[in-house]
Amino acid sequence: MRRVDQKMTTASTNDENNRAEPPLWSIGIAVIIILLAPLVLYSWAPTGPIREGDTVFSDGQQHVQIRHTETGREATDNTCLLDPNSPLIVVHSFNPDTNGSIIAHVQGNPATEWPFCPVHTEVLLKTHQVFQKPAVFGTVREILVGLFSR
């Protein structure tokens, strides 16, 4: 009789353990989906028109015209160079739908040597020289390639 009780206890304990603990792989998949969902939705969202106050990024290395410097004195060359993906805040946009001009403040890459644009300089550029949101998956791919190529 004791053997039968022991077998039943062992069988019921195994069944309870299997039902009580969910598999870790399903929890891992749920966590990955929760973390990646905002990135996927952000990448699929349309950009919309460029408006004043929007943050845009330079599309590659751009040679732009200086509109106004913060110190008030104009440079002798009146042009500067934006680094790729340099963040800019739009101050004013002229006909953004027809590839018009944009006046923007330079926000990133505080390189003060010429020919690079100093921070908070107003620059004049065309809408084809900027993009509105960074490529999320492109940046992730570049990071992964950089890590695994070492």
Q: Which helix (H) or strand (E) holds 20?
A: helix 2-20
Residue 2 confidence class, pLDDT cut points 50, 70, 90:
low
Contact 123, 62 (CB under 8 A): no
**Cα distance between residue 127 and residue 31, in whole Å:** 39
pLDDT (tens digit per residue) in 95-108: 755 667 889 998 87
pLDDT (tens digit per residue) in 56-94: 888 888 888 887 655 555 556 688 888 888 889 999 887
- 3-state SS, residue 123: strand
CA angle 82, 108, 77 (to 5 degrees): 35
Query: Which candidate, 86, 47, 85, 70, places its Cα nearest to that of 120?
Result: 70
**Cα distance between residue 101 and residue 125, in whole Å:** 6
**Cα distance between residue 85 and residue 55, in whole Å:** 11
The helix-helix angle for 136-148 and 24-44 (nearest 10°) equals 130
Residue 32 confidence class, pLDDT cut points 50, 70, 90:
very high
Higher pLDDT, 111 or 30: 30
